[in-house]
Structure 1
Amino acid sequence: MRSLSVLAVLLCWALLAGPAAAAEPPRVLRYAFPVAETGFDPAQVSDLYSRTVVANIFESPLTYDLLARPARLKPQTAEALPVPSDNYRTWTLRLRPGIYFADDPAFKGQRRELVAEDYVYTVKRLYDPALKSPVVSQLENARLLGLSELKRAAIKDKAPFPYEREVEGVRALDRYTLQFRLAAPAPRFDYVLADSAMIGAVAREVVEHYGPQIMAHPVGTGPFRLAAWKRSSKIVLERNPGFREQHYDERPEPGDAEGEAIARRLAGRRLPMLDRVEISIVEESQPRLLGFLNAEHDYLDRLPPELSPMAVPGGQLAPHLAKKGVQLQRVLGADIGFSYFAMENPVVGGYAPAQVALRRAIALAYDTQAENVQARKGQSVAAQSIVPPHTTGYDPRFKSEMSDQDLARAQALLDLHGWVDRNGDGWRDQPDGQPLLIEYATQPDQASRVLTEIWQRAFNVLRIRVQFKPAKWPENLKASRAGKLMMWGVAWSATTPDVSYMLDLLYGPSKGQANHARFNLPEMNELFERQAVLPDGPERLALIERIKRLGVAFMPYKINNHRLLTDLLHPWVDGYRRHPFMRETWRYMDVDPARQAAAH
């Protein structure tokens, strides 16, 4: 009798709880990249979009607090922030035990714990000349002891990189203790340890298992893993079922009302909150906005400038979007938009007065204001130097000729230095009488076409022939790294508050890596090295000021603007807040599946 009573109670409970006990629909975040990815190996990618995916799969020892402004570091796989010693030449940290890589066939059915040797291997891969890492310059500039020497020896001997050889620069002192040693003081080296897209831990077994296919097989310790990938079309990430227990604990600064509200709503939630992230590649702006308006995408990352007049007229959310509950976030980016001149090119490169005059004349002819109005639609501000907002040395009061359009001065510079029409055909020639033709690499998208028209007007006014050579962005990137482009226009985003990452574009030893212009001026190199070892303060700021002015004087880069980054989010998206430096933000985001489904 008692058994029947218990059975009846259980049956009633099941009937009552049935609908609530049903599996919840997956929490899926959907959005689009405007540019195709290149792959997912931390050692081999430098573009923003690939790095964004990589940072959500792999984990660096440190990260940033998502809500803190200004940016504030916190531990990620490390137990605590690293302890510097020997005047910032030695940095030691201990990893948190019990962190595991996502399951993968490379591990042959065994759970694979993250250990200090994994970071040693990860760092060494950046120096392997066979990989031609585009981001290794950050570590080479920090001068980790012994690693650059290993790289040079491997190149000289045409031998495989000696991964087994121990070096002082990066060592595992025991299973969980990691130590970095540098040849010179590096007061901001801890920022490097927060870049998951570069120094996210890679397991050697995975690299050796997949070999040349490693770009398609990212295996990290992070909250997500790659579930599907159709190149240049679709990227799908899914929750890593083996991800450790982690809870939302982001801490905004006191008085930050927006940040405090997010922290209250999400405090204590298990991370990641999302089950999947689905990314489409939609290069054209209008289809990307249409996908958002049709609720096919949950948020629009970086509203295309040409569409801002209809979505955020005057910087305010359009009434029809506000009525739908769309959220608006708008911040000044830690980036620069620029066009570079190839300094090793015989026409636009070089350091002689005539070549400097040519570059400065072209820069002075370009209408930055027209770009900000016609191409950026007010979603940018004019830049004065290579130093972007949110980084050390940025001064909104600094003024240079970088943003000026002065056609009379541009014409005078060309006339004075012999860039004149010598054969009477109406076009300027080189000082030696050879025809003058500028080749400008571009992309076949709508925004690039508008920029091309502005550049065409500038060259026409100067009476300089120009040929625009369109190609897909990854193709231009590859050609640029190889030094095969004469001019190209791109954007470059700071990865840390340390401006050295941006100044690296002017540092000679980084040519072919961050330094796409291949600029190499001894005075600039000396200034870069001096500022890198100084703690923040007036002395360092003075050196950065000198670097900014030399960059304007020699004009290897025509710095155009800093972008205003505008993001639109549907009301069912929570937890999003753009951070100037961190990419691993998906673990902190959530969607409401019921509201998401109701929109369809």
Structure 2
Amino acid sequence: MAFCTLLARLRTAAVCSAALVFAAGAGAQSPSASAAAPKVLRYAFLIAETGFDPAQVSDQYSTAVISHIFEPLYEYDYLARPVKVRPLTAAALPEVSADFKTFTIRIKPGIYFADDPVFKGQRRELVAADYVYSLKRFADPAFKAPFWVQVQNLGLLGLDAQRERALKTGQPFDYDTPIEGLRALDRYTLQLKVAAPRPRLIYTLAMAAYTGAVAREVVQAHGPQQIMAHPVGTGPFVLAQWRRSSRIVLQRNPGYRERYYEAEPAADDAEGQALLARFKGRRLPMLDRVEISIIEESQPRWLSFVNGEMDLVDRVPPEFVNVALPHGRVAPNLAARGIRLHRMLGADTAFTFFNVQHPMLGGMSPERVALRRALSLALDVGAEVRQVRRGQAVVAQSFVLPNTHDFDPSFKSENGEYDPARARALLDLYGYKDRDGDGWRDMPDGSPLVIEVASQPTALDRQYNELWQRNFAAVGVRTHFTSGKWPEQLKQARNGQLMLWFLGESANTPDSIYMLQYLYGPSIGAQNYSRFQLDAYDRLYERLQELPDGPERRALFREAERIQVAYMPLKSHVFRYLNDMSQPWLIGYRRPAFGSVFWHYVDVQR
């Protein structure tokens, strides 16, 4: 059986004893790696993964794993601030036509996929056709790719038509007929042609979640379902163990090419210069293994770090900020142990989407828009920051994120206001009154008004729920909370089955358009959980894709922000401070500005 063969190849007693483990193509360790105790990075995700196929996932926890198994053409320099894109599997930056419509990319020869039984003992080289296939997969209806709209927005000539043929005929997607927009000119040369200018296309080519190369024969061998548990890429790590929603283990890819620590921190970046001096020339990855636990509750996640069971806490839980960081500094007892703080205001937000197709909350009529705006005004986000987040966030004025190119820190809007009196006035004006005398407002037609809030069964979520309940009760609105697992609620959100949901997002690109996809009409069923559709907004979004950076583009971002506030399909609550803490033996950690790609750049010296 393939399962047993893979377990044997892993040569790991822990794997052999785990009956519920999924294993994937990790070879035996090299003699040099096995001679010393393995270097292991241990930390926790607070939300469960969904799987490890780039074409089928979109959550940041799954993509964090994916980004260390699959490799895109480009990457962000680990130390450069502001961020800088540099070649990864590409030999150089793209050759770009003057109109930003043709991109020609040469791939480095001699890069190989991790060993896998599908390759029948032969080394499988990465070639340009692999990137053609990998991008085409997003258009294949069989994979229901949540990021399809993002790939579609690139405007690759002919790709949309291939997808439409598969949808109309019901036949398998055509991978073999060449299209003008996505071609392998030769074994190592990839050419992309797009319908309209794409000045920032390189940012997409630096995202493993979109453009990490997969091998066609591996996907075909396992099919859409099993490939989620069988990732095979060219990256520094391979999946060794997977217990769903419990434990993920990656091991060093024993066949990974010779790659060495290089970076270009700014001359005045003392931390970056120190890291470069320490690690320059070290072969990557420096770790042998990464062990990830899924710990949804804040207390056990924090205690596992304090007790030395975890090497890194990715975002100190809000409940423990005052203990860990009194007055914004590492607590003396932790500092005495050499524990370090890594803090930044991230391109990161927490937001609520309102389902504008929901029969109670949805619609574009004045009374439904007024209801959403009243709910937004009723939410005391300042109290959320003070009481629940312990000051580790700032109130957001829009959905354009800090640290992205077109963020305007001076922009102010109703999105950032707390005004229960105005909320009550809006509800009164548009007929949301207590018609049966029970103390709660009803719909204008007299039916009950009950706001159903999706939530998770954690202590932290209960704090948010209590605040929401008080806020809405203060304006006479009744709430009902439905508890569920995050991956399941994500599916419900995409299917339009939730009235509203409170969740977070981090940008993986410096382009400010990242969050705007959440209101883009064609993204309904994927990132557009609000199911918002407005022609004027969609045209604006598409124009933003084409424009070069500059004043005209910035003005359109302000218009997008005004549309968000006017119709309130989505309320941005906060921009979050990201407080990571690391043990003294974790060396080289620096939170990436975008994405979560760092495992191969750190060392563990216990």
Q: Structure 2 length normalisation: TM-score?
A: 0.93
What CA distance in whole angstroms lies between the structure 2 residues aligned with 1:501 and 1:558? 16
Q: Which amino acid aligns with 2:126?
A: L
Amino acid at match of 1:244: R
Contact 1:63/1:582 (CA < 8 Å) preserved in 2? no
Mapped pair 1:112 → 2:114: no
| CA apart distance, 1:61 | 0.2
Q: Which residue number in structure 1 is paired with residue 4 of structure 2?
A: none
Secondary structure of the structure 2 residue equivalent to 1:545? helix
Paired residues, number: 574
One-letter identity of the residue aligned with 2:305:
F
- 1:16 corresponds in structure 2 to none
Query: Partner of 1:14 in structure 2?
Result: none
Q: How many angstroms does 1:402 deviate by?
A: 1.2
Q: What is the one-letter code of the residue matched to 1:408? A: A
- Counterpart of 2:221? 209
In the alignment, the residues of structure 2 paired with residue 582 and residue 461 of structure 1 have an alpha-carbon distance, to the nearest angstrom, of: 39
Matches within 5 A, 1:160-199: 160-199=172-211
| Percent of residue pairs identical | 56
1:156 CA drift (Å): 2.0
Equivalents in 2 of 1:310, 1:399: separation in Å?
Answer: 33
> 1:12 aligns to what?
none
SS in 1 for 2:109: coil
Counterpart residue identity of residue 156, structure 2 = L
2:152 corresponds to: 140
1:392 is matched with which residue? Answer: 405
- Equivalent residue for 1:542? 555
Supply the AA of the counterpart residue of 2:46.
P
Deviates more, 1:133-142 or 1:466-475: 133-142
Deviation at 1:584, TM superposition (A): 2.3
Q: How does 1:507-586 map to 2 (within 5 A)?
A: 507-586=520-599
Partner of 1:333: helix, strand, or coil?
A: strand
Residue among 37, 42, 46 paired with 2:58:
46
CA distance in 2, matches of 1:285, 1:543: 40
Query: Secondary structure of the equivalent of 1:53?
Result: helix
SS of match in other structure, 1:386:
coil
1:228 aligns with 2:222: no
Corresponding residue for residue 423 of structure 1: 436
SS at structure 2 position matched to 1:241: coil
Task: List runs of 5+ in structure 2 lacking aligned partners.
Answer: 1-31
Q: Which residue of 2 aligns with 1:88?
A: 100
Query: What is aligned with 1:10?
Result: none
Q: CA deviation at 1:225?
A: 0.2
Alignment of 1:26 onto 2:42:
no
Structure 2 distance, partners of 1:238, 1:393, is 39
Q: SS at the partner of 1:173?
A: strand
Partners of 1:116 and 1:573 in 2: CA distance: 37
> Match for residue 589 of structure 1?
602
Provide the C-alpha distance between the structure 2 equivalents of 1:444 and 1:148, rounded to a whole number of angstroms: 41
Bigger mean CA deviation after superposition, 574-583 or 474-483: 574-583
- Check the 8 A contact 2:134/2:214 in 1, yes or no: yes
Q: Please state whether the residue corresponding to 1:334 is helix, strand or coil.
A: strand
State the one-letter code of the partner of 2:246.
S
Q: CA deviation at 1:353?
A: 0.7
Following the alignment from structure 1 to structure 2, what is the Cα–Cα distance between the partners of residues 399 and 405? 13
Aligned to 1:76: 88
Contact 2:250–2:291 (Cα < 8 Å) also in 1: yes
Distance, in Å, in 1 between the alignment partners of 2:443 and 2:178 is 53
| Structure-1 separation of matches of 2:426 and 2:387 | 27
CA distance in 2, matches of 1:129, 1:480: 19
2:498 equivalent in structure 1: 485
Alpha carbons 1:60, 1:201 under 8 Å: kept: yes
Matched, 1:292 2:305: yes
RMSD: 1.3
Deviation at 1:476, TM superposition (A): 0.4
- Structure 1, unmatched stretches of 5+, are 1-19
SS of 1:127's equivalent?
Answer: coil
Give 1:502 deviation, angstroms: 1.2
For 2:57 and 2:203, the matched residues in 1 are separated by 19
Amino acid at match of 1:439: E
Give the deviation of 1:447 after TM superposition: 1.6
Q: What is the alpha-carbon distance in structure 2 between the residues aligned to residue 125 and residue 26 of structure 1?
A: 36
| Aligned-partner SS, 1:74 | strand
Counterpart-to-counterpart distance in 2, 1:425 and 1:232: 43
Cα drift, residue 79 of structure 1: 0.1
| Alpha-carbon separation, structure 1, partners of 2:558 and 2:154 | 21
Say whether residues 1:403 and 2:412 are aligned partners. no
Query: What is the CA deviation profile of residues 4-34 of structure 1, one whole-angstrom value per residue up to 9, with x for unaligned ones?
Result: xxxxxxxxxxxxxxxx999221111111111
Distance 2:109 2:346 in 1: 36
Q: Secondary structure in 1 aligned to 2:343? A: strand
Superposition deviation, residue 197 in structure 1:
2.2
Alignment of 1:69-468 (within 5 A): 69-211=81-223, 212-468=225-481
Please say if residues 335 and 389 of structure 1, whose CA atoms lie closer than 8 Å, have aligned partners that are also in contact: yes
Alpha-carbon distance in 2 for matches of 1:433, 1:295: 57
* TM-score, length of structure 1 as denominator length: 0.94
Task: Give, in whole Å, the separation in 1 of the partners of 2:294 and 2:546.
Answer: 41
CA distance in 2: counterparts of 1:445 and 1:258, whole angstroms: 36
Asked if the contact 1:303/1:567 (under 8 Å) is kept, the reply is yes
Instruction: Note if contact 2:507-2:595 (Cα within 8 Å) is conserved in structure 1.
Output: no
Once the two structures are TM-superposed, the CA of residue 86 in structure 1 deviates from its matched residue by 4.7
Q: CA deviation at 1:55?
A: 0.2
